[in-house]
Chains A and B, each alone.
Chain A
C-alpha cells in the first residue's frame, strides 16, 4: 500500500448483482488536498465514496483513511470523518439548530451550532423545520453537519446535484472556504466546472475505473494541448476543407458552428481567414477556448458528460 496519504484506495471492486460498479479503482489523496472524482452518473463515484464512508463493503481491494479501515474501525473512524451523503434526509419536523445540536452531541469534539449556522448562512433559518428549507439550504445544512465534529477528512458526494446554477455557485464559495481550513476533501461530481474550480487534483472515473488522474492543468496538457476554436460562418462549409487547415487535428460540425481543434492556434486562424476569402465566405463569430475537462473527458471516453 502507498504510504503517507490521508486517503488510500487500492484496486477496489464492487458488484451489485450482475452490474460491476467498480472494476479496480485506485487513487491516493494527500493531507489538505481537495480531490475530485469526476464522471457520469453510474460511473462508480458514489460506490467508491460510500465504501470510504464505511457504508458499503468492497468485494475486493482495500481502503484506508487517516490510517484507519472504514469498515472495521467503528467510532474511532467516525470521529475523524465528516460526510454529506447523496440520497439522504433529516426528519421533516427537525429544526436546523436542533439538527446541529443533535449531531454535534454524538462527538466528543464538536463545533458550536452558532458558529456553524453563521458560517453556512443558516442563522435566519435556525428555527425552521427541515421540510421548510429550500434545496440550497438543505445542502448548506448537510455541509454544516459534515463539519460538526471538526473532521480531518470530509466526503462530499455530489454536493451541488440538482441545484440551480446560482445556488451551486453559493455552495462553491462555501467549499472554497473549507479549503482554507486545510481539510482533506473528497468531492464527487459530474459537473466539469465544479471539478475545475474546486479541486487540486481530479480522477476521471468511467465504467468503474479511473481513466485519468492529475491536476486539472496536467490533464489538459496531457490531452495534447489541443485548443478549441469555435467558428460560425455565413455560408455552410461541407467539403471538409476546414479539417485540412494548418494545425487542425480535428474538425466537427455542431449545429451552425464548426469546432476546430488546433495545436497551433495563430497559424490555424490565418489559414482559416485566407480560406474563407477564397471561398467568398464570411466569419460571423469566432471563439477560442483552452481545452476544458469536458474536452478531455470527450477525448478519453468518446462521450460527453451531461446532466
Chain B
C-alpha cells in the first residue's frame, strides 16, 4: 500500500472506472451494474500484472534483490510471497467495489460469490505471474514499461474489459479468444449475471490456473537477482510457453465454444428490464 504505482493500478483506476462505467454507460440503470462491476473486477485483477512486474524490476535495479540473495530465501519463495501479498491487497479492493456497487449504485444481489472468489483468486495469480515473466525477460525498467504497455492495451481493449466483446469486429474476436483476459472478463460476467457456478466455469478456471502455474514456474526459472545480469536469449521463448493453455482453450473455443453467445447474453442483461427472478435464480 506504500507503493504508488500499485495504489493506482489496483485501487484508484478500477474504482474510477466503476464510477465512469456506472455513471455514464449504466446511466443509473440498476440492471446494468452487475455487468459493469464484472468489468471493473476484471480490471482490478488484471492490475496485478502491472504492480508486481514493476516492483520486481525496481527491486532488482536498486540492488534490493541481491540483499535477499545472501539470506536463505530462494527465488520461488521471493516470488510466492510477492504474489501472496499482492493477492491480500487485491481482496479489499474487490470488497470495496462490491460495497460501492451495492451502496452507491443500488445493485441487488452479489452474483455467484464462490465463483467470483475463485476467479479473482486464480486470476490475480495468473496476471501477477505474467507480470513477473515480463520482469524476468526485460533488462531495464524502460523495457519493462514498454512491454507492459503493449500487453496491457491488448488486455484492456480486446478482452471485453472495456469495449464489450460482441461489439468487437469479428477478426478481433477471433484473436481475443486466445487471451487470458477475455476468459477472466467473461467468467466474471457470467458469475455476476447468470450466477454461473464453478463447474460451469471449468474450462476457464483450468486455463487460468494452468497458465498461472506455468507462468510462475517460468518466472522462478528466469529469476535474476543481480542488476547487471542480462536475460538470456532463450528466456523469451520460455516466456511464450506461458500462453500454451490459452492457445489450447482458444482453439477449443473457436471450434465449439459458446463464449460469443454468453458475451451477447451478458451484454443484453444491461438492456433487459430488471427482474427479481434473475437475481434470485
Contacts and interface: CB of A to CB of B under 8 A. Distances in A.
A83 B72 CA distance: 12
A139 B2 CA distance: 23
Contacts of A87: 63, 66, 227
A206 to B, nearest CB: 24
A106 B78 CA distance: 11
Contacts of B71: 78, 103, 106-107
Contacts of A93: 2-3
Contact of B66 (A55, A74, A78): A55
The A interface, classified by DSSP as helix, strand, loop or mixed, is loop
B59 interface: yes
B226 interface: yes
Contact of A91 (B59, B69, B73, B225): B59
A243 interface: no
A89 B72 contact: no
A228 to B, nearest CB: 40
Interface residues of B, number: 16
Interface in B48-103: 59, 62-64, 66-67, 69-73
A83 B69 CA distance: 10
B245 to A, nearest CB: 32
Interface string A83-98: 1010111110100000
A54 B64 CA distance: 16
A194 interface: no
B60 to A, nearest CB: 11
A107 B69 CA distance: 13
A72 to B, nearest CB: 14
A201 to B, nearest CB: 24
Interface string A152-178: 000000000000000000000000000
A75 B77 CA distance: 13
Interface string A29-53: 0000000000000000000000001
Interface in B206-241: 225-227
B66 A88 contact: yes
Contacts of B73: 106
Contact of B70 (A81, A90, A91): A81
Contact of A106 (B59, B64, B66, B72): B72
Contacts of A81: 70
A128 to B, nearest CB: 13
A75 B70 CA distance: 9
A81 B71 CA distance: 9
Contacts of A88: 63-64, 66-67
Contacts of A107: 71-72
A152 to B, nearest CB: 14
Interface residues on A, range: 20 to 34
Nearest to B1: A93
A81 B72 CA distance: 10
A120 interface: no
Nearest to B64: A89
B226 A90 contact: no
A106 B227 CA distance: 23
A79 interface: yes
Nearest to A91: B64
A79 B64 CA distance: 19
B8 to A, nearest CB: 15
A83 B63 CA distance: 14
Nearest to B3: A93
B70 to A, nearest CB: 5
Given A55-B226, A93-B2, A93-B3, A75 B63 contact: no
Contact of B63 (A82, A85, A106): A85
B62 A89 contact: yes
A83 B73 CA distance: 14
A90 B64 contact: yes
A81 B2 CA distance: 31
A238 to B, nearest CB: 51
A54 B72 contact: no
Contacts of B62: 89
Contacts of A103: 71
Nearest to B58: A91
A186 to B, nearest CB: 13
B167 to A, nearest CB: 41
Interface string B246-278: 000000000000000000000000000000000
Nearest to B225: A55
A81 B64 CA distance: 18
Most buried by A among B64, B66, B67, B225: B67
Contacts of B63: 85, 87-89
A221 B211 CA distance: 68
Given A103-B71, A106-B71, A85 B64 contact: no
A289 to B, nearest CB: 39
25 contacts: A53-B70, A54-B69, A54-B70, A55-B69, A55-B226, A78-B70, A78-B72, A82-B70, A83-B70, A85-B63, A85-B67, A85-B70, A87-B63, A87-B227, A88-B63, A88-B64, A88-B67, A89-B64, A90-B67, A91-B59, A93-B2, A93-B3, A103-B71, A106-B73, A107-B71
Given A78-B71, A79-B72, 10 more contacts: A54-B69, A55-B69, A55-B70, A81-B70, A83-B70, A85-B66, A85-B67, A88-B64, A91-B64, A93-B2
In the A-B complex, list the 4 residue pairs whose CB atoms are closest, starting with the nearest.
A93-B2, A75-B72, A88-B63, A78-B72
